């Protein structure tokens, strides 16, 4: 299977965890993969990667040009790939101003979309970015929200449209152009062998239970946390104390105020209900 | 041809080359008349190259021909390192045309001519030129601007053309402008009237260097590879052997063109020459913080030690 296998999610929803699992599953090694040496190109919005694929300085381009050229950049990447490439992406699945999907189906072999309880996302995002929870909740409800969207500074990543949290989920889960596997973060925590086994299968790797179990243990929260304590993690923002912070599901109950939790439900109730975040098991 | 007036004979100096250009290039220093290295003409270029050996999103390579096209702005055909034909889109933003010419297009010409363009800015010190290489967003131009404010003259911004043909690698003079993003210009307290928009709907600005631009090419003393990191402190570590080669390859400007041009062996020889003669260190700086005073201090101390 050639082309790009997208690991898509709203930020702080288990994307890095999934990438580490796949790296460990592919390596099949007796020892865990170094978290700072995950193979692959990194994130789809990486400016250097796009500079390289376009053969131009993305910083010479307008935002509109850059967005219109991104699908072609991913096609070039896929065309030159000798094997399946896993690519992390936080962009929502949107159309460019030319009416073309940002993520082109003809360069893609599939997408693993990870969805996480938005109340936990809010808590995790606030810690990661060093901002107030209310600001994150605001952002999760803002259809124009973007990562690295500040036009006043040159960032290592280009601007990436997030839409609202609900909009992000729907954009990927409801698209039919690219074959998809949708996993809930909570299921990855509760029953990792089943969830990650499905991911291995979808990614074209062996789903042999022993191999999956070993890869899961190599990217357990304890292992990732141990590695981060010893050597740090390059994807952590300076502002955050840790990238791998708690990894738990349901931590929002201890952190969010009633009003904050209610606001998220008011903003995203429809999608939350669809993914079982409003029934008894996750409430 | 509307939008940009075509002038007759114009001689400009950039990246160690003399350009004779029909396209007006007000940012480039004028050069004395004489036999130019590169002729820039206005004219039609083909929509595509026949049977290209490589193609990216915006460019194609076929032997000694390089085609770059930004729809709505211009297409450029660079041939054998000697000729550039510019096909302007009617009503193209002249700033955008020149931004592409000074960057990707002249980089292709440098590759064709066997000059090594590093993705970095360079400033002159008593010991020689120091080059700050790094990915887009690493802080190269901002650091060069901070050095300029401390009295170090600037040789190049973003593209440092390294001539490896002589005994010692030299950095050629680029042109007297630094490109800064609004937050960096603000942090450096560059007066607004000294900043010029380089392209409509692109936020980065040109900071015109007057006396702060160096007057001649200079041997390379050191290369610093800037890398934003999640660390809270600055860090510097000297690189050796194959690490140096890897970093120089990684920070070669438009490296993709080179491979398409079949010039991998030439490039390896160039980077090996630089690696043999020049100190190279990796500098990590906190992501999301300028830490400019500390960073310039660290560089200056390292150069002087």
Q: Do B287 and A56 touch (CB under 8 A)?
A: no
Q: Which residue of B has its CA nearest to A236?
A: B230
Residue B284 has a pLDDT of 94
pLDDT number for residue A149: 87
Asked if pLDDT for residue B3 goes beyond 70, the answer is no
> Are residues A48 and B136, on separate chains, in Cβ contact within 8 Å?
yes
CB contact under 8 A, A69 and B103: no
Chain B residues with beta carbon closer than 8 angstroms to that of A67:
none
Closest approach of A237 to chain B, Cα-based (Å) = 5
**Is the model more confident about A255 or about A248?**
A255
> A interface mutation test: which of B54, B55, B57 has the most A CBs within 10 A?
B57
Rounded to whole angstroms, how far apart are CA atoms A278 and A272?
6
Cβ-defined contact of A235 to B230 (cutoff 8 Å):
yes
pLDDT above 70 (res A282): no
Q: What percent of chain B has pLDDT over 90?
A: 88
Tell me the pLDDT tens digit for each residue of B79-114. 999 999 999 999 999 999 999 999 999 999 999 999
Rounded CA-CA distance B222/B247 in Å is: 13
Verify whether the Cβ–Cβ distance A73 to B103 is below 8 Å. Answer: no
In this predicted model, which residue has the larger pLDDT, A40 or A33? A33
Q: What angle do CA A208, A211, A213 make, to 5 degrees?
A: 105
Q: With residue A182 as reference, give the H or E element that holds it.
A: strand A180-184
Is A57 in contact with B136 (Cβ distance < 8 A)?
Answer: yes
Structure confidence at residue A238 (pLDDT): 61
Q: Where are the domains of chain B?
A: 11-113, 116-304
Question: What ipTM does the predicted assembly reach?
Answer: 0.92
pLDDT value, residue B246: 96
Mean pLDDT, range A18-32, rounded to an integer: 94
Beta-carbon count within 10 A of B259 CB: 14
Question: Which of B136, B184, B257 is opposite residue A51, by nearest beta carbon?
Answer: B136
Tens digit of pLDDT for each residue in A145-199? 999 988 888 989 999 999 999 999 999 999 999 999 999 999 999 999 999 999 9
Alpha helices of chain B — where are they, by DSSP H?
Answer: 94-100, 106-113, 140-149, 182-187, 241-250, 255-260, 264-277, 292-304
Residue B103 distance to chain A (closest CA, Å): 8
Pairwise CB contact (< 8 Å): B255 & A52: yes
Burial A141-178 (b: 16+ CB within 10 A, else e): beeebbbbeebebbbbbbbbbbbbbbbbbbbbbebeeb
Nearest to B147 by CA among B132, B164, B137: B132
Q: Which residue of B has its CA nearest to A152?
A: B182
Per-residue model confidence (pLDDT) at position B231: 78
Burial group, residue A113, by CB count within 10 angstroms (0-12, 13-18, 19+): buried
| Residue-wise DSSP of B246-265 | HHHHHTBTTHHHHHHTT-HH
**∠ Cα B228 B232 B237 (to 5°):** 60
A45-78 pLDDT, tens digit per residue, is 999 999 999 999 999 999 999 999 999 999 999 9
- The predicted structure's pLDDT at residue B7: 45
B59 vs A55: CB contact, 8 Å cut-off? yes
Whether residue A140 contacts residue A267, with contact meaning beta carbons closer than 8 Å, is answered with yes
Long-range contact set of residues B9-13: C-beta below 8 Å, sequence gap at least 24: B9/B33, B11/B36, B13/B173, B13/B175
The pLDDT of residue A239 is above 70: no
What is chain B's mean pLDDT, rounded?
94
pLDDT tens, A108-129? 999 999 999 999 999 999 998 8
On whether any CB of chain A is under 8 Å from the CB of B254, the answer is: yes
Q: Which residues of B touch A53 (CB under 8 A)?
A: 56-57, 256
Look at strands A180-184 and A108-115 and give their pairing.
Answer: parallel
What number of other Cβ atoms are within 10 A of residue B216's Cβ?
Answer: 9
Inform me whether the C-beta atom of residue B1 falls under 8 Å from chain A C-beta atoms: no
Distance CA B148, CA B213 (A): 9
Fold of B116-304: Rossmann fold (3.40.50)
Q: What is the pTM of this model?
A: 0.93
* Residues in chain A within 8 Å Cβ distance of B55: 76
Tell me the pLDDT band of B8, cut-offs 50, 70 and 90.
Answer: very low
Q: Check whether B4 has a pLDDT greater than 90.
A: no
Task: Tell me the pLDDT band of B288, cut-offs 50, 70 and 90.
Answer: confident
- Interface of chain A against chain B, CB under 8 Å? 47-48, 51-65, 69, 72-73, 76, 150-157, 232-239
Is residue A22 within 8 A of residue A199, CB to CB? The reply is yes
Residue A2's pLDDT band (boundaries 50, 70, 90)?
confident
- CATH code of domain A3-274: 3.40.50.300
Q: So where are chain A's domains?
A: 3-274
């Amino acid at each position: 299977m050639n082309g790009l296998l997208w690991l898509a999610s709203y930020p702080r929803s288990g994307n890095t965890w999934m990438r580490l699992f796949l790296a460990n599953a592919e390596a099949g090694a007796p020892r865990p993969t170094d978290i700072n040496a995950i193979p692959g190109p990194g994130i789809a919005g990486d400016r250097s990667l796009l500079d390289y694929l376009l053969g131009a300085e993305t910083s010479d381009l307008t935002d509109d040009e850059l967005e219109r050229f991104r699908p072609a950049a991913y096609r070039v990447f896929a065309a030159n790939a000798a094997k399946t490439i896993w690519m992390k992406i936080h962009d929502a699945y949107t159309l460019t101003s030319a009416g073309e999907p940002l993520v082109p189906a003809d360069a893609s072999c599939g997408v693993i979309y990870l969805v996480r309880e938005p109340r936990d996302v809010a808590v995790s995002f606030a810690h990661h970015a060093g901002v107030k929870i209310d600001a994150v909740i605001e952002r999760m409800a803002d259809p124009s929200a973007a990562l690295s969207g500040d036009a006043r500074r040159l960032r290592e990543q280009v601007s990436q449209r997030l839409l609202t949290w609900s909009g992000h989920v729907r954009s990927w889960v409801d698209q039919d152009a690219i074959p998809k596997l949708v996993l809930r973060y909570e299921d990855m925590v509760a029953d990792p062998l089943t969830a990650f086994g499905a991911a291995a299968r979808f990614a074209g790797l062996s789903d042999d239970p022993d191999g999956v179990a070993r890869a899961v243990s190599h990217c357990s929260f304890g292992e990732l946390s141990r590695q981060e304590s010893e050597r740090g993690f390059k994807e952590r923002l300076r502002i955050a104390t840790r990238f791998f912070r708690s990894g738990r599901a349901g931590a929002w109950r201890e952190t969010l105020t009633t009003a904050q939790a209610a606001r998220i439900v008011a903003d995203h109730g429809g999608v939350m209900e669809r993914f079982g975040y409003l029934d008894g098991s996750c409430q | 041809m509307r939008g940009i007036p075509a002038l007759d004979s114009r001689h400009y100096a950039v990246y160690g080359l003399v350009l004779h250009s029909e396209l007006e290039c007000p940012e480039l220093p004028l050069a004395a008349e004489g036999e130019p290295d590169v002729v820039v003409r206005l004219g039609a270029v083909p929509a595509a190259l026949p049977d290209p050996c490589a193609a990216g999103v915006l460019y194609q390579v076929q032997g000694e021909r390089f085609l770059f096209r930004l729809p709505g702005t211009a297409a450029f055909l660079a041939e054998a390192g000697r000729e550039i034909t510019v096909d302007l889109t009617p009503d193209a933003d002249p700033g955008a045309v020149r931004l592409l010419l000074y960057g990707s297009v002249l980089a292709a010409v440098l590759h064709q001519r066997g000059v090594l363009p590093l993705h970095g800015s360079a400033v002159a010190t008593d010991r020689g030129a120091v080059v700050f290489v790094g990915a887009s967003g690493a802080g190269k131009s901002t650091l060069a601007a901070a050095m300029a404010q401390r009295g170090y003259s600037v040789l190049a911004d973003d593209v440092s053309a390294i001539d490896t043909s002589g005994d010692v690698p030299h950095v050629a003079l680029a042109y007297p402008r630094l490109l800064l993003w609004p937050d960096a210009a603000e942090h450096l307290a560059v007066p607004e009237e000294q900043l010029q928009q380089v392209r409509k709907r692109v936020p980065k600005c040109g900071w015109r260097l007057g006396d702060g631009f160096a007057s001649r090419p200079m041997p390379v003393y050191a290369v610093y590879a800037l890398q934003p990191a999640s660390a809270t402190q600055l860090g510097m570590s000297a690189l050796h052997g194959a690490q140096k080669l890897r970093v120089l390859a990684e920070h070669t400007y438009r490296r993709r063109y080179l491979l398409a041009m079949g010039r991998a062996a030439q490039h390896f020889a160039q980077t090996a020459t630089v690696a043999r003669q020049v100190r190279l260190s990796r500098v990590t700086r906190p992501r999301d913080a300028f830490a400019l005073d500390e960073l310039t201090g660290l560089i200056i101390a390292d150069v002087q030690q």
